[in-house]
Amino acid sequence: MNDTSATYPFKLWFAATCAWLGSLQFGFHLGVLNTCLNYTSIDLGITEAKGGAVVTSVLLVSAAIGGFFAGQVADAIGPRRALLWNNVPLFAGSFLSAIAPDGSTGFWAMLLGRFLAGLGVGTASLVVPRYLVEIAPTPIRGALGTVSQLFVCVGILIAFAIGLPYDGKEAFLNLGQHQIAWWRVMFAIGLVPATLQAIGMSTCPESPVWLEWKGHTEAAWRAKGQLQGQNPSALPQVTNLGATHFGDVEKQETTTFVEEGDGASVPLRAAGEEVFSSSEAGSSHLDDEELSGEGQWSDLVQRRFRRMMVLAVSLPLLQQASGINSITFYSSSVFTRAGLSSPIIGSIIVGCVNVAGTGVAAYLMDKTGRRPLLIASHAGMAISLISISLAKFLPLSKTLEGYISLVAILGSVMLFSLGVGPIPWLYLSEILPERIKGRAAALCTCLNWLASLVIGLIFPVMLELLDINGSYLVFAALNAAAVVFAYTFMVETKGRSLQRIMHLLLDSHTD
């Protein structure tokens, strides 16, 4: 991840790993029904296709609900406690789905289980990146946040892989004289990460940023010492120029000043951070005082937060508009033309590419930066989608068309995982100040999940009106628009303290 990683305490890596288990569950619950929906529907008496669609889509609806309230919960009790208690709906969702009785009663139990799991998924999608950004030292903040998306991909891959027994046949687990449907075992596996995360998060430090924001300065320093290896008692005497309340783990290196012998103040700075001028520091201090209180929903429309909110709302929506779900939808037919008849194996291949690409992104995030990676990711996806459309328009042999489409599909997945997948959630947690972070992130997360649901509903209509070629050209155009947007509005956050990012984005004119 970073060549300085060995200098950080075990507690940091332990806390990050516990948080990543939330992302693992996020991915697992998204993918677990993909391979077993038909067999689950038979056992639960779901005879109509719309019943299966309801079971699938209820998770997206409840994820939007969970995401909407998660920000305020994290604001109230802290990101660590929010992640700890989030395992209650995740555990209950897995449990209810696994024990749902056969017949129509089981349908309602499954529906409730998926609804509860969705609440946990929506909460995890917001709170995991927030906790990681707030505990991470600046030089590895991007890597820790990107590994969160890597664990989402790993969770999806695990869900696909444990569905392999259903490859072309019904499957059971034999316990003595009892046969247990394999889909029940699949859902029961979800109990394991929920239990592990609940135990692990109970021993992790709270976010130093949240503690500082709530006025618990000494507790914030203790937590930061545990996570970043600094001993608060050994710190020099400092002259505090005002609490930042910016959600910045590195705030003390950039806003507290050591008194020199001649009375000059020298700013403390962490390795890998940019230096900014004293005039900028003074301007930030004035902004800090304005941001020190509890936020309200009305704050989201204030002029000073305008650029932050435009970025925070747009990037997750552009992620959904990239067409990644339509690419996954089309991949099965592409794999079939390439000679691979098993849709489960095809899904596993796509999952492996996604994991590999996200792993590369974690390595590059703090080297290349968020902005160039996201621009390249959207641009590459646009080119890949255009390639698939051209392969079908041009007079090519079916074999050649199939190979071009296969390469383009896998390339699109790889390119998505390099930027469009991980960056919106990481960036969201980096650019929002604590005053509005809970409410703003909640709104953006809710909109993202609703956009996923809406695109899933309108994609079949697009296929009917435009065919796959025209549909992919629409998504290619949306990716091109995303390139223009990112180039125009994004600021780079790599190597910058959270306070410095706020200073760059905060509009100096207030309402």
pLDDT of residue 409: 87
Given pLDDT bands bounded at 50, 70 and 90, which one contains residue 234? very low
Q: Per-residue pLDDT tens for 329-385?
A: 666 666 766 666 787 888 899 899 999 999 999 999 999 999 999 999 999 999 999
How far is residue 446's CA from residue 85's CA, in Å, rounded to a whole number?
A: 20
The CATH code belonging to domain 291-511 is 1.20.1250.20
Reported for 465-474, long-range contacts at CB under 8 A and 24+ positions apart, including other chains, are 468/330, 468/388, 468/389, 468/392, 469/388, 469/389, 469/392, 469/393, 470/389, 471/323, 471/326, 472/323, 472/326, 472/385, 472/386, 472/388, 472/389, 473/385, 473/386, 473/389, 474/323
DSSP string, 216-276: -HHHHHHHHHHHH---GGGSPP-EE-----S--TTHHHHHEEEEPTTS-EEE---TTPPP-
Per-residue model confidence (pLDDT) at position 342: 80
Question: Lowest-confidence range among 57-66, 69-78, 79-88, 494-503?
Answer: 494-503
The predicted pLDDT at position 358 comes to 95
Q: pTM of this prediction?
A: 0.81
Distance between CA 55 and CA 183 in Å, rounded?
Answer: 14
Instruction: Outline which parts of the chain fall under CATH 1.20.1250.20.
Output: 1-204, 291-511
pLDDT digits (tens, 9 = 90+) for 142-175: 999 999 999 999 999 999 999 999 887 778 888 8
Q: Does 91 have pLDDT greater than 90? A: yes
Q: Which residue has the higher pLDDT, 288 or 368?
A: 368
Summary mean pLDDT of the chain: 83
* Residue 255 clears pLDDT 60, i.e. is over it: no
The tokens of 227 are what?
Answer: 């996570």
The 10s digit of each residue's pLDDT in 298-327 is 889 988 899 999 999 999 999 999 998 777
pLDDT at 238 over 90: no
Fold assignment, 1-204: Growth Hormone; Chain: A; (1.20.1250)
User: Which has the closest alpha carbon to 35: 168, 179, 172?
Assistant: 168
When pLDDT is cut at 50, 70 and 90, the band that residue 48 belongs to is low
